[in-house]
A and B are shown apart, each in its own frame.
Chain A
């Protein structure tokens, strides 16, 4: 990652957003309000494909928010991952539909991290500009790349095998696929319209984030990252993806908290706003704490990946453990605070509840990341200060 750091225009103090980033936030919010209004999201999520390709193209070509941290040398705007995060938080707040997970969270960071080459350079430009979309057909182990788990094989440039539950796999134009060849595991790009690619869309709990099973039968692939760098490329992409997913969770959680607070102020029972009852008020206060904690850990991970100020593996696991739990909690309590209306199809709460359930699983659950944090900070920790434990002898 060090070579990428050299491209950073400047080091930005942690948690301090620039004026440009605040303007970016406003612009994305405006665009999202216009193009991802609840009615639009509902209509799109049950369409085929379940997103609006024209809006996607505008996100890339017009708004330029699909590859904000892509270096200028690679045809990007040379921003930072903080810029990308700001945009994703706003899109997450609106439950924006489209292959964000496959394209923005995973594929673009992977392609950026890969060494330059004709296939890679052309693909990157197309992804950033919104001309093509991507999904990553790589089974991760709770957000970490595991070469031993790769079952797709490659002979020459022909890929064969199956990858199940690929997020955005049914709607993407290209797939990034890890495949095992005679030299080891490498990363390929495969056109989804190529001969030998069969995609089976799956009915998912969350209608706003689709999945598909993919079967490759001697499908033609182009090398993106060879065996020497594939693991590094995918590790990096999964860390960036985990951090961006956490930021998306923050955006969604903040939206739900705002929604619940507004409802608690306006819904009257017993002649009073229900938010004046401490049982409701205290529940919302606890959600506020969760949202603030999630925001802190998610952006800390983003900064860790931007300036190397913290171990990105630890920072992203902290962010995922905290943010997955936070969004799940907020989404759950949003339904409770809304009462009966919150359980209806008509109300938006279930859309976020289902996104929360999905996000909590993707790239590792809160429990899996907790386990990883424990491995990093507790297991094998040496004793540097043993606390005083009273031993029963009276002083």
Chain B
């Protein structure tokens, strides 16, 4: 079928969903369930799994209609679920039954998801992680610690990368699992960050058990599966609003317009440079969307992640410089994780503090530049001191 015919079909289905399940009237879960059943959650997924088997680029056709009718942005409600878990499950889960069991509650946001990758000893060098998974009958026994896990305290399922073989080089001894966050031996503790909030958690595993059917991909192939997740994470993090002047830059232009007495030519030019970079990146996202007809996210997502992270930092630094003494005030440092407020909904000063994490989370800017240099430009990799070494012999600290 031609792309135009597919686009018309997608549009028609989306119009049908909002006609029968007005997102302004029915509960979000019912509405999102209807989107899933119509194949509009991820249009490029197979039919019956929340998709229609059409080009990924047509998601924008559905989203314009769905969100235009007041539908929620599902990525905001279940970010790890929609952005990372779904594509990984679709590609690597063992059976159609398991895929179905996970995907629909994920889509309705009844089940939130989290990602259990980073560890205190494994950040940029993720493949060096130490959490172990040992097979016992048809179950895996998990021991270790994860960190920087957003939504762990509310999630039902977690995407877990663990070491199943310490005797081979680090990338080869990993396997990928989905763990029930409610199961015994899983303990979640809030992790307070420099903003005063606790957006993230530490997760401890003590003899937690996972049925083998909840393993994604082959034993020892976890790194490959994790790449599916991470490429989607970077695309999700790097995706920016498609309206000119929207997104982070709107905070700065809003401040600028609200305080004419603080405007100076130097701050005006700095803000214009930031506005232009935001606009150039927005247009680049549009262009890469136009180019992506079929297939998954490519390395160009890394451009968006890199630029978006640094822009956020520069924009909030500009905001602080513009505010002057007013920027020195805060809203108190008592923890309010329980209120459910996300950091990016806080005041400018908090966003300024929060933006420090942008160039670390989801791949540091250093790693992002390596990816651009090596995967897009084809430059040679750096020398690695642990190359070919069995994981258990690699120095750690």
Binding site for B on A (CB under 8 A): 13-16, 257, 261, 264-265, 272-273, 275-278, 281-282, 284-286, 288-289, 292-297, 299-300, 318, 321-322, 367, 370-371, 373-374, 377-378, 381-395
Contact = CB atoms under 8 A, between A and B. Distances in A.
A370 B272 contact: yes
B254 interface: yes
Contacts of B256: 378, 381
Interface in B222-265: 245, 250-251, 253-258
A276 B290 contact: no
A243 to B, nearest CB: 14
A281 B379 contact: yes
Interface string B327-349: 10111101010000000001111
A328 to B, nearest CB: 14
Which residue, A299, A388, A392, has most C-beta atoms of chain B within 10 A?
Answer: A388
Given A15-B290, A276-B382, A293-B284, A390 B331 contact: yes
Contacts of A377: 245, 253, 272, 275
Contacts of A322: 276, 280
B135 interface: no
B306 interface: yes
Given A275-B377, A370-B269, 18 more contacts: A272-B383, A276-B381, A278-B370, A285-B377, A288-B303, A288-B372, A292-B300, A293-B280, A293-B281, A294-B280, A374-B268, A381-B257, A387-B319, A388-B347, A390-B331, A390-B348, A390-B349, A393-B331
Interface string B149-184: 000000000000000000000000000000000000
B379 A261 contact: yes
B290 A281 contact: no
Contacts of A257: 377
Nearest to A389: B348
B257 A374 contact: no
22 contacts: A13-B290, A15-B287, A265-B378, A275-B373, A278-B382, A284-B373, A292-B300, A293-B283, A296-B287, A300-B283, A318-B276, A373-B276, A378-B253, A378-B268, A381-B253, A389-B255, A389-B326, A390-B346, A390-B348, A390-B349, A391-B329, A395-B331
B373 A285 contact: yes
A387 B251 contact: yes
B359 interface: no
Contact of B258 (A261, A282, A300, A383): A383
A299 B287 contact: yes
B254 A264 contact: no
A377 B257 CA distance: 11
B160 to A, nearest CB: 31
Given A293-B280, A370-B269, A388-B347, A281 B255 contact: no
Contact of A278 (B254, B271, B369): B369
A282 B251 contact: no
B146 to A, nearest CB: 28
B350 interface: yes
B376 interface: yes
Contact of A265 (B254, B368, B369, B380): B380
A327 to B, nearest CB: 14
Interface in B173-219: none
Contacts of A374: 268-269, 271-272
